[in-house]
Amino acid sequence: MNLSIPVIVMAAVIGLVGIGFYCLLVTRNMIRVVVALQIIVKGAMLALLLAGRMRGQLALGQSMALTVIVADTIVAVLGLALAVQVKRRLGSLDLNDLSSLKR
């Protein structure tokens, strides 16, 4: 396979998403969940920009990516605030201890 630029960027997208999902699967630490989400979303952003560039509508891709950046930053803030409050109230960041939220 010839390594053209789109293939390389797409490989980065798939790699980022895969690494992020693996982290989500194995981690039990709330803060690390936020890290994993950040990694996945970076992959998604790259994919948006690549799609925009290849269709000749980079501006559209960029404005979508901007929305994603804003949403993603808010998710990070929200997740970290949640983690800090959980730590304060329950004294732990372990997801397993939080499963009392189930019922």
Residues 61-100 that bind another protein (CB under 8 A): 61-67, 69-74, 76-78, 80-85, 87-90, 92-96, 99-100
- CA 61 – CA 50 distance, rounded (Å): 8
**What DSSP designation does 96 have?**
G
Q: Is 24 in the site for another protein (CB under 8 A)?
A: yes
Question: Residue 18: how many CB atoms within 10 A of its CB?
Answer: 13
Q: Is 37 in the site for another protein (CB under 8 A)?
A: no
In the complex, least distance from residue 71 CB atom to another protein, rounded to whole angstroms: 6
- CA 57 – CA 62 distance, rounded (Å): 9
In the complex, least distance from residue 38 CB atom to another protein, rounded to whole angstroms: 6
Nearest CA among 48, 40, 43 for reference residue 66 = 48
Q: Is 57 in the site for another protein (CB under 8 A)?
A: yes
Q: Is 56 in the site for another protein (CB under 8 A)?
A: yes
